[in-house]
Structure 1
Amino acid sequence: MSVPPADDSPPSSRRIVVVGGGLAGLAAAAALAARGLAVTLLESRPRLGGRASSFDDASTGDTIDNCQHVAMGCCTAFFDFCRLTGIEGQFERQSHLNFVAPDGRISRWSAAALPAPLHLAPAFLKLSYLTLREKLAAARGLRALARGWDVRTGESFAAWLERQRQPQLVVDRFWYVVLVSALSESLDRIDVGYARKVFVDGFLANRAGWEVTIPRAPLDAIYEGPLLSWLERQGVDVRRRSGAAAVELAEGRATGVRLRAGDSVAGDAFILAVPQDRLLPLLPEPLRESAFFRRAAEFETAPISSVHMWFDRPITELPHAVFVDRTCQWLFAKPKGASGESGGYYQIVVSASRQFLELSTSDAIEHVRRELADIWPAAREANLLHARIVTEHKAVFSPTPGIDALRPTQQTPVENLFLAGDWTATGWPATMEGAVRSGYLAAERVLARLGRPASIVPPELPVGRLSRWLYGLSSVRA
């Protein structure tokens, strides 16, 4: 799509209206405000953050995240956003991960003092739940995936694994464990290209790619605290409880956003940073029917469930754990809160939770408790003080085979109307990184239209020399 002609008015006199206070909208607003533009940020909810947000649990009074969000070292745009807005110190990088085998044994995952991709080889070889034969099969699969051997456009990762003759136990205990956490989908519903991206960017290309970073506090405390303060210092007009009802058009251009309350917010350029299922209701009928926008209705989504459990005592000393061959994928130990100084509060994550959601709430909680008790005797002995399940039914767009054909660019056919959101064309799956990249890309399009072209999206981590040689990976990536 060609870039529309530059606006001939001084950029500082133009107002940019961003609809949506999730990470995509926050990133777009921050990038534009940092470059001196006037920005109005509209968010329908009382809190910023979108799906990456928190709420107060009525029973305990604790502020809890709707779901635990993590970032990996390969998420360069997300960390750039954190540095830009001064919230980098709100996240803690983990030195290792704890993989919990079906029999309860812990395999510590950390990097050795070796260049990528060998930095994780010692940890991989020490995994207790795979035999040497199975590890060799997984290594052969990794090499084939990294080199793109027999990778077919629009194919599911499950089909690719079958052609590679990967043993079922390797599929269940290696490929699935990584990808269901990263992409929140089953392997038959993952495009092989996105599976490749997870393993190449996260584990093979650069030593730092795998490192997991976790928020130090509830997300609400970060977004409504230091991040909001930074935005306001930059002059961003942040309006919560300001739900958008419709985009107003005149003579082929967007002129304003009508709010549900009835008043309108005028602007010179508009970024709709909303989920794909909320885009079409905001558009006038002619736009809604256009091929460009209509594709938003074709996305499929996947749920993520988070089980919050408050015990009267700690059930494990681990700060976090990755489960193998379980319904649950992750456990995160949280500040004690209502469980008291001697208690333990944990968040357990179930990604791609369609089957889990078929259980009643009480059965689902009991199922999770049994899985924890199978691993840690303390979980059998501890009293469960309180539990609740929080599900984002449309947590992520499903990275189904051929999904890239549906993902729209940030520039729309309307010259001053732009899109942001992890579902837009970023080259990344539905992650915090994808959301921030989309916001940055939308900001780049706005600046180009104002005659101030700028490169905002940071480069991805460089590929190590040995990784380039072993896997034929490009040394420079966008």
Structure 2
Amino acid sequence: MKIQIIGAGLAGLSAACALTEAGHQIMLSEAAPQAGGRARSYFDKQLGCRIDNGNHLLLSGNKDALRYLRRIGAEHTLTGPDEANFPFHDLKTNRGWTLRLNHGRIPWWIAAPSRRVPGTRLADYLALKRLLQARPGDLVEPLVGHGPLYERLLEPLAIAALNTMPDIAAAQPLGAVLAETVERGGFAALPRWARLGLSESFVDPALAWLQQRGAELRFGERVTHLPPNQPTILAVPPWVAKELMPELDVPDAFESICNLHFKTPRGPAEATFHGVIGGLTEWIFLRETVISVTISAANRHAHLGQEAIAAQVWQEVCQVLGQTLKLPPYRVLWEKRATFACTPAQLAKRPGPRSPRPLVALAGDWTDTGLPATIEGAIRSGEAAAKALLSQI
């Protein structure tokens, strides 16, 4: 029996690959003219080069994302250091430092001042334990929000992982991220990112893999209703899922992400990244021809125009790099509904992979994966939806 998958973002692609590997025939439908959703690459005519529509940093403990890449033969397309090193720069003090985790599970890096966050004490790191033990109603800032560890590490980490400001963000999903990465040791927290682009790693190899195995791929086709008695995985944004299935309860509050891309050839230097605190800029990704910047939980900056935000961010990039450079050509990409707001109230609205209707399963980073809305969560949701659907067939 043919299984229909609606939506070709990473959740839909993950479900399609899992079901194809299980021996099922797949029809994958996507309303957009291309696959990838919020994690894809495209040629930007304004910059005259290829860019990602967003920046995504994975960790080596993201086992579902790495298994997905191995399945489609694309694990080699990621790059990153051999050590769990995270460089940061404080714009207010103009000081840089690098967080250096050791590989093993025993976190002796906490005892080494040269490896931990500057100005922190051993006792400060009990905050990590509080996050790991967070209860459903706990918020990040009230739980751990004080001192240099919070200001220089936990706050930027929470904003990046949850895409929600820590004073209203649920602590439990952040604890889940830490449990699967940092708590397991530095070997599970190695930074990883796409060497060439998101599509080259996560999308194009998956489409080729599916086509080689007979999957039917349809782009530019919007599905307006769910056919009865048709095994289906609904891998679309929550508001689209609600339109197709009005009885479904879904998250309905969202946060934006602002990504900026500056075209500035650096030559064949090794790609790297920086965490930034004290300004608009939060993460800088340095590539061969483009410097990209991510600002998460960006609803708070919605009043800023593109020219203003680009000028300030570029000034901050120059400060981090220790250079004075003229503002190059740039592109500002503002995703208004990038993720659901990761608050306790919105977490309660996340459905599991089983929908209220028989033979229909749900996938997407907005479903209840136990994680915030990340690539790892999206890919995990596709696997869970495939299992939920197969249990009904």
Structure 2: give runs of 5+ residues left out of the alignment: none
Q: In structure 2, what is the equivalent of residue 156 of structure 1?
A: 139
Overall identity of the aligned pairs, in %: 25
Task: Using the TM superposition, give the Cα deviation of residue 89 of structure 1 relative to its aligned residue in structure 2, in angstroms.
Answer: 1.2
Task: Using the TM superposition, give the Cα deviation of residue 39 of structure 1 relative to its aligned residue in structure 2, in angstroms.
Answer: 0.4
Q: In structure 2, what is the equivalent of residue 308 of structure 1?
A: 261
Structure 2 counterpart of 1:54, one-letter code: S
Distance 1:375 1:207, change over 3 A: closer
Q: In structure 2, what is the equivalent of residue 202 of structure 1?
A: 181
- Residues 155 and 402 in structure 1, CA contact (< 8 A), matched pair in contact too: no
Q: In structure 2, what is the equivalent of residue 225 of structure 1?
A: 204
Between the aligned partners of 1:317 and 1:227, the Cα distance in structure 2 is: 26
Between the aligned partners of 1:157 and 1:221, the Cα distance in structure 2 is: 35
Q: 2:278 aligns with which of 318, 325, 341?
A: 325
Q: In structure 2, what is the equivalent of residue 126 of structure 1?
A: 114
Structure 1: give runs of 5+ residues left out of the alignment: 1-13, 249-253, 256-267, 337-344, 451-478
Instruction: Note the 1:161-176 alignment, pairs <5 A.
Output: 161=144, 166-167=146-147, 169-176=148-155
- Residues 353 and 384 in structure 2, CA contact (< 8 A), matched pair in contact too: yes
TM-score (normalised: structure 2): 0.92
Structure 2 counterpart of 1:397, one-letter code: F
Distance 1:318 1:404, change over 3 A: closer
Report SS of the residue matched to 1:21: coil
TM-score (normalised: structure 1): 0.76
Deviation digits for residues 289-348 of structure 1, max 9, x if unmatched?
x3xx0x21x43211111111123668x987211112232111111232xxxxxxxx2001
Between the aligned partners of 2:174 and 2:202, the Cα distance in structure 1 is: 30
Task: Using the TM superposition, give the Cα deviation of residue 403 of structure 1 relative to its aligned residue in structure 2, in angstroms.
Answer: 3.6
Structure 2 counterpart of 1:118, one-letter code: P
Q: 2:100 aligns with which of 93, 110, 120?
A: 110
Q: Does the alignment pair 1:387 with 2:340?
A: no
Q: In structure 1, what is the equivalent of residue 55 of structure 2?
A: 68
Between the aligned partners of 2:2 and 2:307, the Cα distance in structure 1 is: 50
Structure 2 counterpart of 1:94, one-letter code: P
Between the aligned partners of 1:174 and 1:206, the Cα distance in structure 2 is: 17
- Residues 117 and 207 in structure 1, CA contact (< 8 A), matched pair in contact too: no
Between the aligned partners of 1:153 and 1:330, the Cα distance in structure 2 is: 28
Structure 2 counterpart of 1:418, one-letter code: A
- Residues 77 and 433 in structure 1, CA contact (< 8 A), matched pair in contact too: yes
Q: 1:97 aligns with which of 57, 77, 86?
A: 86
**Which is greater in Rg?**
1
Between the aligned partners of 1:111 and 1:171, the Cα distance in structure 2 is: 17
- Residues 172 and 325 in structure 1, CA contact (< 8 A), matched pair in contact too: no
Q: 1:274 aligns with which of 199, 216, 236?
A: 236
Q: In structure 2, what is the equivalent of residue 455 of structure 1?
A: none
Q: Does the alignment pair 1:440 with 2:383?
A: yes
Task: Using the TM superposition, give the Cα deviation of residue 118 of structure 1 relative to its aligned residue in structure 2, in angstroms.
Answer: 1.3
Between the aligned partners of 1:116 and 1:71, the Cα distance in structure 2 is: 19
Deviation digits for residues 18-50 of structure 1, max 9, x if unmatched?
000001000000000011101000011121101
Q: How many residues align?
A: 389
Between the aligned partners of 2:241 and 2:75, the Cα distance in structure 1 is: 31
Distance 1:218 1:74, change over 3 A: same
Deviation digits for residues 185-237 of structure 1, max 9, x if unmatched?
11012112122223332212344221111001122334553221111011111
Distance 1:20 1:51, change over 3 A: same
